[in-house]
Amino acid sequence: MTDSELTPIFDRPTSESAAARYRLGDEEMLPETAYQIVHDEAQLDGNARLNLATFVSTWMDDYADKLYAESFDKNMIDKDEYPSTAEVEDRCWRILADLWHAPSVEDAIGTSTTGSSEACMLGGLALKRLWQHKRKAEGKDATKPNLVMSSAVQVCWEKFCNYWDVEMRLMPISDDHKVLDGHDLEKYVDENTIGVVAIMGVTYTGMYEPVKQIAAALDEIQAKTGLDVPIHVDGASGAMIAPFLQPDLEWDFRLERVHSISTSGHKYGGVYPGVGWVVWRDTQWLPSDLVFEVSYLGGNMPTFALNFSRPGAQILLQYYLFLRLGFAGYTAMQQACQDVAVYLSDGIAKLGPFELWNDGTDIPVFAWYLKDETSAKWTLYDLADRLRMKGWIVPAYPMPADLTHLTVQRIVVRNGLSRDLAEKLLADIADAVRYLELLESPMPAEGHTPGFTH
């Protein structure tokens, strides 16, 4: 039988043999047949809009979709072929440098990346290289760098430390110190510390770390010991929330100790997956021996990146949103998310069995736990399963060290989770709780709900 266009589409020879899935098929297939197979398989994924686990954008408007379709063929590294896209990239990080109060945007330096992970790696690499230069200039050992951060850091920092041989110094969180807040910092910082990571929007819970307080603790350490330790702010989500919703909060380049800031353009920056940003307050904090030159319009253009080729379309989408929304538009968009987050956290607290860990007033993300986990007949994993049956993806997971005994459940409110949908979600949570409370025998606790994104 051949894969003929005359054969009805679901009666054609397709990939019903398992082998064809794991090796290249022997023959061609009509494009519409192949399309249908891939399309149908992708249907089994969760519904992206109902995925309340992810921070990453799942909705953009029609003009963004149009722009995306027009530019998906552009490779960001081809700055020679696509000088306009290169120029737009430059404008975007300058806009961010300004938004984050760089003392002089002319003296700042930045770049786009594939996301916060790459942006954090670049920020970490700059810290490490600067520290090495300084140690070598002083004739001191430069082989045992360490980086200080909360035990609730995103996995990209564990990768950074692993890939680049930096000792990871994790400060545990506790009920008294829910985030890294400068307390006890002197016990972790020494002459081999390349920097401290401060997180604006801890992934586990959405809480801000008090960057100003951390900077003050480092000032004190410097006064006592002479150690001058810089801060990298991991603002994956918060660096695109705080400027709009908490403009008076000093967490950015207003603090001199903050050398660099990273963010995910594809989180609260509003762009589809594939873009991040990192900015240094001053070119002196990005060692020039990390920067490569690529040919650009017959001249050279500096680049600092892990990848060579990557999509350029997301850069144009970021610029589109900057133009489309402006300061007022971003403020309105983030405020709407926060209003929904507070509405939901309030409603969940009122259901009875839950205690809020936080309420969504930092970034629009909040987590809760069972008031009485030991005597409850059901767990948050059971609740996650019940919600999954309705299409909602609301992950439950254990907290990091030293709170691993505590299981929390988290909701990330993104642009697109409207108040209308949120009311439906709250009703579904209330229904699920009623159902679980009516069960007589305990349900076995199962493993993690898939879908928790760090």
Ligand X SMILES: *Cc1c(COP(=O)(O)O)cnc(C)c1O
Residues that bind ligand X (CB under 6 A): 55, 115-117, 120, 154, 156, 199, 201, 203, 234, 236-237, 264, 276
Least CB distance to ligand X at residue 351 (A) = 27
Q: Cα 42 to chain center, whole Å?
A: 24
- Cα angle value 327/332/333 (rounded, 5°): 100
Distance of closest approach, residue 234 Cβ to ligand X, in angstroms:
5
Query: Which phi and psi angles does 182 have, rounded to 5°?
Result: 95, -20
* 13 dihedral zone (left: phi>0; alpha: psi -120 to 50; beta): beta
Q: Tell the residue number behind the tokens 């305990």, with chain if given.
A: 442
Q: How far is the CB of 115 from ligand X (least distance, A)?
A: 3
At closest approach, how far in Å is the CB of 263 from ligand X? 8
In whole angstroms, the minimum distance from the beta carbon of 244 to ligand X comes to: 17
Calpha distance 116→277 (Å, rounded): 7
Report the C-alpha gap between 168 and 148 in whole angstroms. 6
Distances (CA, A) of 219 to 150, 209, 255, 268, 273: 19, 17, 11, 31, 37
The token pair at 431 is 């229904």
CB 265 to ligand X: min, Å: 8
Cα-Cα-Cα-Cα torsion 21, 114, 201, 251, nearest 10 degrees, comes to: 170
- Closest distance of CB 371 from ligand X, Å: 27
Q: Which residues of 197-223 are buried (b: 16+ CB within 10 A; e: fewer)?
A: bbbbbbbbbbbbbbbbbbbebbbebee
Nearer to ligand X, 306 or 443 (CB): 306
In the numeric block, the tokens 């603002």 are attached to: 235
Query: Which of 96, 109, 94, 92 is closest to 259 using CA atoms?
Result: 109
Q: Minimum Å distance from CB 310 to ligand X?
A: 13
Cβ(63)–Cβ(320) below 8 Å: yes
Query: Least distance from C-beta 77 to ligand X, angstroms?
Result: 19
185 three-state secondary structure: helix
* Whole-angstrom distance, CA of residue 409 vs CA of residue 245: 24
Residue type, 348: I
Distance between first and last Cα of the chain: 48
The CA-based angle 166-167-168, given to 5 degrees, is 110
Closest distance to ligand X from the beta carbon of 315 (Å): 15
